[in-house]
Structure 1
């Protein structure tokens, strides 16, 4: 498809004499006047305040001075944006509480927040954790964007635009240093190769930081950063109405991370002698500290989160007069090589737990968009996406696993589980095709009617094969999905019990899930320009997130020996979204105040759940009947003079399961024998029978603070030819649940963070000192429950206070 378009464009270029060269669109994203920022949220250049979408725009200057060099740090400035990561692969981006299920990643599910890099859809959240390199701006679009943005953008989109090559020579350099050996270097150079038709840009970034958590076993510090990124671009403009932008990037991250460790205990319904306190005593074990903010742990397994990612894209724009034709062709890859201590304690329970994974994606988009402001403007296009993921999982149990996981005589015999190994082969293929369009009709001056439509087809196929083996002085076997039933049937008495314990700990399974479906998304927006600086809008959107397939192992059926094949797939999410908003500017555009209110109902919400079986340590996917998310947001900024500016953003988000009757239970309602045939479960936290499922209707979704804010100011005074300035950036979020089912033991308390900076700038030179988390706030990013219902809750603390300095210069 792109080859045909390219041949047409090249033929046209050859037939027309040289014309004056205009700067590329991406280079024109700077403010034109106070309060004017040009964005491409609707696939065309528009003033941000004119776009009837709840959105935030973070420019390169704001990114640099706040140290928000990746998505994780960006969330401190965006109250409606949530980013969670227990390691890069197990990352999720949510907007208004929706996007990716809270918990460990499952390859077979889609993300609900579209992540775009220079117009290219990035198919896995893990591949979005790279450092920002030579960024022009980041647009955070809140609410469904499915009629214009790729696929599965039911919650919103994060749209990153890098600086384009320049026909005027330029260079930028930045160096930062700080606590914990923090060093970050950034640089870019750009200029013409030929004076008026070909330009290039080369950008690079290096980030290194020592660890913040001491591992007493290896005598190393964990949570280190070791990142490198490089990006090269060529811009060819054979004539004024035609340009091509070829981009290639390479990123490698090799951090010594990621670690969660002892945070607190939650009494469960497991027998008392099989809960954490008794088990630790029996194995003569004590953690190095029971206060996570002492920042010490005692891992006994290798840990690492190396990932490599990169790709290439070719974007062509052809201005044909009344419209512009755009083609985006891209290939990207992601190579993940992890190591984890998945039992979270310094005992050889699970000595290996890793899922090395390789993803490749190809995408092609062609669209046409009308130029200028007309009575009827339009954008239409087609999109194709192909993705493959190959994962080689492995899990190995250690000498303490029998005592920790089993009961009876087998718990006393380390050989029952010592060396028990699950070797998993996981493959995934995803094809998606869509036709989309958006109109903007202005029947009378100021009134805009904007319907949008997207027809999408998704086809997914997967393969999961787990082979379980053990080879030690007492046991020697290889169990597969083909022979496990016969092996179990051949055993009797204690031998049968032991074998059942082994295959219930790591289950041999093989299945090949499939999913395919068409869906139709649409939205309808009415907006009115009350004045040139006051805009009101109302939107209804009907959107979908494609169905998923389970690729992390299935729970066992009622026989406790065979995978429950009814849980191979999950249904698509469907969403009804209502939103009203008001965008205003006053005082000659020095004061901006934007308001939005929304109500979203999600049917068949896709959740990551875990029913307590150790056979599915990563959890599996399930549908919740109905979820409701509603709330309000404001974005405000005020620049009374060139000497001072203020900003404040806030979000209220009320997110609940309205109907989830067969959900997994919280840790305090798990761990006992199942309450079958109507038997009465024991009280929460009391050993005894456990409910098979729990009705959590009416409880809150995980990971979402009801209240969240960001705020800040900067003041400056002239000194010589430059100015001295001081700035403050703060954020606050109220408490949130860190478990799919609400648990009294897994709330993360609300916290606030404060960052300060003090510096001097003159023209393109800038130097400033900074302190982040200035008051050394202790807070958790995540809490998780150890599998097996031992009652151990582990946490991942946020970064402590860091102090440093940055110097930059542009030429």
Structure 2
């Protein structure tokens, strides 16, 4: 049922903030100390979090260490209306959604709805984007379109990962972690001034290993294991007080086994029943898996004057993924998909910042050139056939952006800006059917049919504006309202099957969103309480939805639809309170009502257009989420000690656009940490427990199911003659002990 945005939650929160600002100070009564100021660079300049009129959450290196955050997917439980999860069948591919906007399908050539930035360099591919925490200064997550501030696609929001800067004092840090499932991690980080005040070198490296949470029953290989090596190196030259040049390089190599899914139903071919552990599987493919990503960048930062700063960011990145995916999770090659993805990108950004007494602004020019290629083979053993899909897409993107903020009075500020983007894409796609088994890296089979073979190109351009108003009532309370338009360009379906979808060679259109947001930020009770709230409404046009359907048992069809219209509306709350000198309470809450209002698709089985706006759902977007945490600080024998406990709830979530048995019911994760710091602050010991109740929760899956009648009788087998309904799950209960030494 369609609903309208309710004013009650925001009105209640504003009333609460007003009441608290006038109430006696609870913190004074309890004798608590004030909360530390949180500094962010979300708007490309250093600001107090409470002065920034956008919904942004920030995590310092200390925050991440206390919580035992291993990679960026851990952050989703502390963020309202945000999904950051490992994609199906992978170890380091990211599924990211913010306020209902994201990328469900990690196929090559598709553009993510959430922008990932590492030291201001845009990461175009989801493969390898599950970033491990290494040598981090801070991580900021911005919700809502950010195109007037950031380089490439940020239609849904942006995650900004910033590594540590260096100084004149040499630093060295080594960290080791051991835990159950034979976890053994080693991280080494440091920096050295080669020439004082002028030349510095810094970097970090990590080896992260863990045995599997389960196994492949028919081979004995680990399932859900981890084997990652990563590192980065930076050389920073400051030839003068006004100029800095930073040359950086990084590389990550993930050789963890390919993940096997858990069968939710018995196999129609082998009779295999669902195993007792969701982390156990079978496979008919080798489990060898490789994801490599690497890149280099050059930052030039010139402080022209006290008011003007010019930045140039030049970067190159490339990656390769070689992965075997066993959809059906049996020892028989019923629905096997070995795949290879390769991509590279070159980006150049020029950014000019101005900081004045009443006017601040950032503007820039951005260029992106990328090439993404891939090939996968759908091996259908029962039919002794293979469908091979492959091709490349080349992208060139040019854009200019600007955002300024003008202080009309000491209390009233206006922000305004815009972005123009011009994207050009050319694609080549082929789809062949072979008799026998065929593999991307070794060939095989006999060609019997060509289902697609086309080359095409197209271009799209769009101007997206931003308008905002901010009013500061006093030092403790600020309110804001904004309108921002977001844009993501069109493209081509790299799985197009023209034999069943005659229009499959036509490009899909760009998607746009008009995003409205109102909110407030408050610092109350003598700076012991930070209470921030935001309400939003997204009017989405031509939302890109990827759809895959089996056509009979021996073929499948893919489409990238442009949903005519969809809406997302919701509310977010973030709270931190220093209740006493030792005790701190934190909480976040997010609510979203997301739905399609217009949606029609071409059913390849019925060969007809069908209105599904009342049947389909927005995936990877729980209706509400919340997190409650308490932190207690004390001194034990001169060692500073922090005790942390939290509970994070995520409501029911749909894995795909159509409700299915894969959908996960709401669940709560309980985490706890004990962290001790030595008197000289060189040693840090941490004991971290995650998912302490050992909750079983599904985060992804494959659904090419058989059809049954109301009495449970088989009507028709699914893809490959199987009943393929396989799920992938979040981590079980884990305990880890970390020792960190730094000087």
1:659 aligns with 2:624: no
Deviation at residue 751 of structure 1 after TM alignment:
0.4
Unaligned runs of 5+ in 1: 1-31, 265-275, 403-416, 482-507, 558-562, 665-669, 677-690
Q: Distance in 2 between matches of 1:189 and 1:577?
A: 42
Deviation at residue 89 of structure 1 after TM alignment:
7.3
Secondary structure at the aligned position of 1:61 is classed as helix
Distance verdict in 2 for CA 1:245–1:618, change over 3 Å: farther
Distance verdict in 2 for CA 1:223–1:162, change over 3 Å: same
1:575 aligns with 2:501: no
Deviation at residue 471 of structure 1 after TM alignment:
5.6
Quick one: which of 518, 527, 530 aligns to 1:589? 527
Deviation at residue 742 of structure 1 after TM alignment:
2.3
Secondary structure at the aligned position of 2:127 is classed as helix
Report the equivalent of 2:709: none
Give the RMSD, CA atoms, in angstroms: 2.3
Secondary structure at the aligned position of 2:264 is classed as strand
**Structure with larger Rg:** 1
Deviation at residue 125 of structure 1 after TM alignment:
1.6
Report the equivalent of 1:630: 569
Report the equivalent of 2:291: 307
Distance verdict in 2 for CA 1:214–1:582, change over 3 Å: same
Unaligned runs of 5+ in 2: 1-32, 438-443, 706-717
Deviation at residue 698 of structure 1 after TM alignment:
6.6
Report the equivalent of 1:115: 116
Q: C-alpha offsets along residues 734-780 of structure 1, whole Å, 9 cap, x if unaligned?
A: 1111221223x332111010111224222232112221110111111
Q: Distance in 2 between matches of 1:120 and 1:187?
A: 23
Question: Does the 8 Å CA contact 1:468/1:478 hold for their aligned counterparts?
Answer: yes
Report the equivalent of 1:409: none
Question: Does the 8 Å CA contact 1:326/1:367 hold for their aligned counterparts?
Answer: yes
Q: C-alpha offsets along residues 63-113 of structure 1, whole Å, 9 cap, x if unaligned?
A: 22323222222212223220241125763211112121x2x3232321111
Which of 379-388 and 62-71 deviates more?
A: 62-71
Report the equivalent of 1:793: 725
Report the equivalent of 2:102: 99
Question: Does the 8 Å CA contact 2:428/2:456 hold for their aligned counterparts?
Answer: yes
Secondary structure at the aligned position of 2:620 is classed as coil
Secondary structure at the aligned position of 1:356 is classed as strand
Report the equivalent of 2:41: 40
Deviation at residue 631 of structure 1 after TM alignment:
0.3
Deviation at residue 694 of structure 1 after TM alignment:
5.0
Q: Which has the higher helix share?
A: 1
Report the TM-score, using the length of structure 1 for normalisation.
0.81
Deviation at residue 44 of structure 1 after TM alignment:
1.2
Report the TM-score, using the length of structure 2 for normalisation.
0.88
Q: Distance in 2 between matches of 1:618 and 1:756?
A: 46
1:803 aligns with 2:724: no
Report the equivalent of 2:499: 556
Q: Distance in 2 between matches of 1:127 and 1:456?
A: 26
Secondary structure at the aligned position of 2:600 is classed as coil
Secondary structure at the aligned position of 2:102 is classed as coil
Deviation at residue 640 of structure 1 after TM alignment:
3.2
Q: Distance in 1 between matches of 2:247 and 2:82?
A: 30
Report the equivalent of 2:434: 469
Secondary structure at the aligned position of 2:684 is classed as strand
The correspondence of residues 471-486 of structure 1 with structure 2, limited to 5 A, is 477-479=446-448, 481=450
Q: Distance in 1 between matches of 2:329 and 2:239?
A: 58
Quick one: which of 730, 733, 736 aligns to 2:653? 736
Q: Distance in 2 between matches of 1:341 and 1:263?
A: 15
Question: Does the 8 Å CA contact 1:35/1:590 hold for their aligned counterparts?
Answer: no
Q: Distance in 1 between matches of 2:475 and 2:554?
A: 61
Q: C-alpha offsets along residues 107-160 of structure 1, whole Å, 9 cap, x if unaligned?
A: 232111111000101111223123222011100000110111112211100011
Q: Distance in 2 between matches of 1:727 and 1:738?
A: 31
Which of 374-383 and 123-132 deviates more?
A: 123-132
Deviation at residue 704 of structure 1 after TM alignment:
1.2
Question: Does the 8 Å CA contact 2:263/2:328 hold for their aligned counterparts?
Answer: no
Question: Does the 8 Å CA contact 1:696/1:741 hold for their aligned counterparts?
Answer: no
Report the equivalent of 2:677: 761
Question: Does the 8 Å CA contact 2:388/2:432 hold for their aligned counterparts?
Answer: yes
Secondary structure at the aligned position of 2:646 is classed as strand
Quick one: which of 345, 359, 368 aligns to 2:343? 359
Question: Does the 8 Å CA contact 1:231/1:249 hold for their aligned counterparts?
Answer: yes
Question: Does the 8 Å CA contact 2:81/2:625 hold for their aligned counterparts?
Answer: yes
Distance verdict in 2 for CA 1:596–1:663, change over 3 Å: farther
The correspondence of residues 66-85 of structure 1 with structure 2, limited to 5 A, is 66-84=67-85, 85=87
Q: How many residues align?
A: 685
Which of 205-214 and 639-648 deviates more?
A: 639-648
Q: Distance in 1 between matches of 2:120 and 2:493?
A: 29
Q: Distance in 2 between matches of 1:729 and 1:616?
A: 47
Quick one: which of 313, 318, 329 aligns to 1:333? 318
Report the equivalent of 2:456: 513
